[in-house]
Structure 1
């Protein structure tokens, strides 16, 4: 069996923690300059829900908190309020650059993973699913927490730019409830919005100027770490 493993494409990624008033200004400005993500609903936003995995000694969390240059984490994600399309994602960071691998999963396959039935992953021609199996077995990865938020996203083709405003970050009470979008959640970082700017080789000046927030420097914010504080 041939294993499919496409080459990685590393991108720049910067995050800023901003206030509600700064969020309102940026949302209006970005909406006048750039088209919104095609997945957005009538309100211009959509819901993102992710299930994060970690080792028994919280390797991914510790590496993030310690600022480790080379690190990775795995998550399963779906969008909107209907859990009918899932992706396994591996997020990779090397120095200041980020990359991501992804593979589609069915609801039945996600349920099998939640139940600890992983053998089907080893039979996949997708290299990421096979790697995930090896990490589940070798590093004892397990579901650790559910993270959800509302996202407003803007795109700009030159530079392959994507700007997002992530609001209302919440933590699910149980990883086992990941497949139930209406499950009860608790706020993880109330009163803040996360501005993220992602691009390939260059950031066009029009975007650089549009996302300027006086007095705000790029930070190392992690939604996963913010939600783990609530454990």
Structure 2
């Protein structure tokens, strides 16, 4: 199990703004290993309860809420990350477990018993949570990400664009998955994630964004067919 506890700030940018800030970070920060040659794909399958409890807790901005998802970075991947992301007041706690492709596909089909293959307390917790909550796949979200990081304070800055989704197929590993856009082509989500405090030279650049942070959720955006009135 991998656990990350961070604060997160999120901003909606226009494409030209994203290019401007990315150019500044290019001069100061390291790119993560996936971003060395540009952006990379992130594809996530989100689960929710039979009553869409997690969806409505996000809509209502509950202080404590969660998201459960399977994540890959290429349809040819032979593993997937099963993640639970929990909002605890101002902090985001993310825990993840790496599953084989075969077990990930079983999980998508509702066979949660494959989690018993993993001798990890997170696997046991997710089995109980997903079984009792009757969790089911709800939507796949895919986007392009460019990410920067610092060694100090584990700061991570991400630019997410070209957001697309589907609520009709849950085949996470499908190389020809049919997806539809869920945001304008010029819309970019910028996120700043950090532990305890933000380094001043990074904060100075972010402070140039002349607007308040937003609560945009890709999961909410991805439910545009099921819940069109909430976008």
Change (3 A) 1:214 1:110: closer
Deviations 1:185-204 (Å, cap 9, x if unpaired)?
A: 10011231000000111100
1:25 aligns with 2:20: yes
SS at match of 2:57: helix
CA distance in 2, matches of 1:188, 1:55: 22
Give the secondary structure class of the aligned counterpart of 1:216: coil
Contact 1:47 1:81 in 2 (8 A): no
Residue of structure 2 in register with 1:63 after alignment: 57
**1:54 alignment partner in structure 2:** 48
- TM-score, structure 2 length as denominator? 0.91
Give ranges in structure 1 of 5+ residues lacking alignment. Answer: none
Q: TM-score, normalised by structure 1?
A: 0.91
Alignment of 1:127 with 2:102, yes or no, is: no
Superposition pairs of residues 173-188 of structure 1, within 5 angstroms: 173-188=167-182
Task: Note closer, same or farther for the CA distance 1:9–1:164 as it changes in structure 2 (3 Å cut).
Answer: closer
Aligned pairs, number: 225
Q: Which residue in the other structure is 1:195 paired with? A: 190
Partner of 1:230: 225
3-state DSSP of counterpart to 2:212: coil
Q: What are the residue-to-residue correspondences of 1:62-141 with 2, within 5 Å? A: 62-141=56-135
2:32 counterpart of 1:40 = no
The runs of 4+ residues in structure 1 deviating greater than 6 Å are: none
The runs of 5 or more residues in structure 2 that have no matched partner are 227-231
Structure 1 pair 228/138, CA: closer, same or farther in 2 (3 Å)? Answer: same
Partner deviation per Cα, 1:106-165 (whole Å, 9 max, x = no partner): 110011112222222135311122122112210000010001100000001112100000
- SS for the counterpart of 1:221 is coil
Q: How far, CA to CA, are the matches of 1:116 and 1:32 in structure 2?
A: 46
What's 2:229 paired with?
Answer: none
Q: Does the Cα contact within 8 Å between 2:4 and 2:93 map onto a contact in 1?
A: yes
